[in-house]
Amino acid sequence: MKKTAVLFPGQGTQAWGMGQAWLEASEETGSNGFSITSDGKHFHIPKLLVQHAIRWYNGEVEPDNILGNSVESAIRVAEKALYDIDHPLPGSPTKSIEVQQEIMKERAFYVALLEKLKGIS
């Protein structure tokens, strides 16, 4: 079975164990946290990237550091992504079955990631 690692800018600046937690959560859930399918397509823009873009726009983070530099910051980011999934904005458009399924996979990924991160904090 071929394994794929998802790497993103700033990954080397994270606390020890964060990358491993990401890979394990991805392996367990079959989701990579970015809603990218095996053929490289996006089903939707994942909550993690939306919230990062907002934080970057507001000058709160660097553009290449999605989870932050500590396990605690990664936990906060994952918790916020879960909250955003569980509490969609009022008036959000109806999503296709495929997108809803991908969002549930994304949610499972964040739950698994949180479990892993809390285990190393």
| 115, 80 contact by CB (below 8 A) | no
Residues in the chain, total: 121
CB within 8 Å of 78: residues ≥ 6 apart: 48, 67, 110, 113, 114, 117
pTM, to two decimals = 0.74
Summarised one tens digit per residue, pLDDT across range 70-100 is 899 889 988 988 998 898 888 888 888 888 8
Domain boundaries, the chain: 14-34+41-120
Summarised one tens digit per residue, pLDDT across range 5-43 is 544 444 444 677 888 898 899 899 988 776 666 666 655
CB within 8 Å of 43: residues ≥ 6 apart: 35, 37, 98, 99, 102
